Structure 1
Amino acid sequence: MELFQHGQHVRLRSRALGTYLHADDDGQGASLHHRRASMNAAWAVHVHHPPRAQVPYLLLHSAAYGLYLAATDGPAPVGLRGFRVELRSYDHREADAVCWTASRTGSGDDVRLQHFNLGCLRANGKYLPWNNGASIGHIDGASTMMHWVVEPIPARETMPPLPRSTGLTLPRAVLPSRQIVYVWTDNHGDLITSGWHTFRGRSVFRLRKELARLLNAVQVLGVGDLVLCLPTRDGRLFPLLVDLPNNRQPLHVVVVIAGTPLHARLRYADVDAE
């Protein structure tokens, strides 16, 4: 567990395949890709010490979508071995699904990530590269498909630029919509206002503009002075830096003002660093 430091960002590279664990663009699953410099490959570490537990639990929070890597007892998709891996929100009713333990494999610094009662996180696609989803399997001491290399990601001092909106290719009325539940805080992190907003499309750049207008922040601050953040189970905030996942699920957002103490505590993964 010493390879995982609370609050840091890491990548998980498959020892067998050399590919990285990614949060899928649909915001629902995880799979393996070669892309290294991607926010989808960054995971924020949350080390949890529950009462009476013999070892601390590890929670992995997607830097892209603010969801946790979770094990389920449902069957993995066709072509994958074992049980299904999902991404779940911080307030999901089945809280145990996101709890993992990390142990050395005996091969260098490789680790296994084991769910406390289902099995270990495994890569797929050794012989069929298109079957690249992650799944949960029973421990197999001879297989390196359950071996993961932990790569720490350094932090950057400033927020990276948001992906610019490319413009709407479809009328807004026909774009998929979702509910954005938002909270706006003051300089000390105390609540100013909260509510919900129906947002169409996926552009985080445009979502920030719409929330700024909704909160009347543009009259005082300007759109660029607002940072949209995703909350974690332990009350931390991580900036929303990529376009929204390709689904219609509601999204909980905390709006933080640049230059405040709360803003100074935000951490940004430098996924472009070597």
Structure 2
Amino acid sequence: MEQFHHGHHVRLRSRVHGTYLHADEDGHGVKLRTRRASMNAAWAVHLYQGQNEQFLLLHSAAYGSYLAATDAPAPRDHRGLRVEQRNYDHPEVEPIVWQAILSESEEEVYLRNVGGACLRANGRYWNTNASVDFVDDLDNISRKMLWVVEHIPAREVMPPLPRPAGLPHPMLRSRMIMYVWRNIHGDLITRGSFMFRGRSVFRLRKQLARRLHAMAILDVSELVMGLPTRDGRMFPLVVDLPSSGEILHIFVVIVGSPAHAALRYADVDAE
């Protein structure tokens, strides 16, 4: 587990294909992509100690969902079982818990779900979903289950939010946004919900700032949105929303507050 550090971000690169494990924009799937400088390729590390060994959770720096093994068949022409993103409040815990096993060369890791299946990279140019598959003998494990862990440094400040492309289209999907704003002591200032059309995180922040203006004199640049994790932390929402249209639960923090100081931003453009 020395390749993973709690609270930091990593990329997972297939040793065989050279592609990176990406959280798909639908907020559910997991795919292999060549693009390295993408928040979708960044995974935040959550380590916790079991009775006899350490375990690993990986949640997407883009959407906050956890990398999970399932018992559903993998897509057609892929081996093994399906891998997906699961929300922080999903009742099943075992699918999102992993063990990192160092390879013989000590340059890569195998990621084995506690259910026993290992994360596998499928085709490079087609059939590029990841999957999990069971192995009987770690000495004869497939090289497609080898992953190079690349550490991603932290940014000192939040990256600029992506600008929206054009005006919101009336046919764009709407979703429910539920938000909570607490003070530095954790006491509730306000909470609420509203319908939001489209995926633009830039427009979402502006709409939230208008709603919170009655509670405090806020400039939109002072407002930071975050998504919750299973252990009660939050991480910043800095990419456009997933295309699934599912309800989004958002924490609101203000620049300069202790909650804001605790946030960590992945510098995906760093070499």
The TM-score normalised by the length of structure 2 is: 0.95
The DSSP-based 3-state class of the residue aligned with 1:113 is strand
Alpha-carbon distance in 2 for matches of 1:100, 1:108: 18
In 2, Cα distance between equivalents of 1:189 and 1:168: 37
- Structure 1 residue runs of 5 or longer lacking an equivalent are none
Matches within 5 A, 1:21-36: 21-36=21-36
1:118: how far off? 3.8
Instruction: Please list, as runs of the form range in 1=range in 2, the aligned pairs for 1:86-101 lying within 5 A after superposition.
Output: 86-101=84-99
Shift of 1:108: 2.9
Q: 1:168, CA displacement in angstroms? A: 2.4
2:70 corresponds to: 72
Q: 134-143 or 89-98: which moved more? A: 134-143
Alpha-carbon distance, 1:213 to partner: 1.1
Do the aligned partners of 2:212 and 2:218 also contact (CA within 8 Å) in 1? Answer: no
Residue 192 of structure 1 deviates from its aligned partner by: 1.1
Query: 1:215 offset after TM fit, Å?
Result: 1.7
Aligned-pair CA distance for 1:57: 1.3
| Equivalent of residue 131 in structure 1, options 127, 136, 143 | 127
Q: Which stretch shifts more, 131-140 or 86-95?
A: 131-140
State the alpha-carbon separation in 2 of the partners of residues 217 and 184 from structure 1: 13
Moved more, 209-218 or 22-31: 209-218
Of 181, 186, 190, the match for 2:187: 190
Whichever residue aligns with residue 60 of structure 1, its letter is L
Say whether residues 1:272 and 2:269 are aligned partners.
yes
- Corresponding residue for residue 81 of structure 1: 79
Structure 1, residues 82-141: CA drift from partner, whole Å, max 9, x if none? 000010111101111110010112123210000111400000005xx2111010011262
Aligned to 2:154: 155
* Structure 1 residues 217 and 162: alpha-carbon distance in aligned structure 2, compared to 1, 3 A threshold: farther
Cα distance, 1:209–1:131 mapped onto 2, change above 3 Å: same
Quote the residue 1:5 is aligned against: 5
Question: Residue type matched to 2:96 in 1?
Answer: V
CA distance in 1: counterparts of 2:113 and 2:253, whole angstroms: 34
Distance 1:155 1:20 in 2: 19
1:27-81 per-position Cα deviation (integer Å, ceiling 9, x unaligned): 101111110000000000000224xx32121000100001000010000111211
The unaligned stretches of length 5 or more in structure 2 are none
Partner of 2:169: 170
| Aligned mates of 2:69, 2:26 — CA distance in 1 | 17
Partner of 1:15: 15
Identify the range of structure 1 (208-217 vs 89-98) with the bigger mean alpha-carbon deviation.
208-217
The equivalent of 2:201 in structure 1 is 204
After TM superposition, give the deviation of residue 208 of structure 1 in Å.
Answer: 0.6
- Amino acid paired to 1:215: L
Aligned to 2:260: 263
Aligned residues: 268
Quote the Cα distance in structure 2 between the aligned partners of 1:225 and 1:189.
Answer: 19
Equivalent positions of 1:102-121 (< 5 A) are 102-121=100-119
- 8 Å CA contact 2:199, 2:241 repeated in 1: yes
- Name the SS for the 1:255 alignment partner: strand
Secondary structure of the residue aligned to 2:94 is helix
Residue 260 of structure 1: how far off its partner (Å)? 0.8
Q: Which amino acid aligns with 2:119?
A: L
The residue aligned with 1:236 is 233
8 Å contact 2:40–2:61 — kept in the other structure? yes
- Once the 2 structures are TM-superposed, how far is the Cα of residue 256 of structure 1 from its aligned partner? 0.6
Give the partner amino acid of 1:148: W
Q: For the aligned residues, what is the CA RMSD?
A: 1.5
Q: Tell me how far apart the structure 1 counterparts of residues 265 and 176 of structure 2 sit (CA, whole Å).
A: 26
- Partners of 2:216 and 2:237 in 1: CA distance: 23
For 2:249 and 2:213, how far apart are their aligned partners in 1? 19
* Alignment check: 8 A CA contact 1:20 1:36 kept: yes
Matched-pair identity in %: 61
Whole-Å Cα distance in 1 between the matches of residues 56 and 194 of structure 2?
A: 33
Report the residue type matching 2:204 in the other structure.
L
Q: State TM-score, norm by structure 1.
A: 0.94
Q: 1:56: which partner in 2?
A: 54
Given that 2:122 and 2:129 are in contact with CA atoms closer than 8 Å, whether structure 1 keeps it comes out as yes
Q: Does the 8 A contact of 2:209 with 2:218 survive in 1? A: no
Report the 3-state secondary structure (helix = DSSP H, G, I; strand = E; otherwise coil) of the residue aligned with 1:28: coil
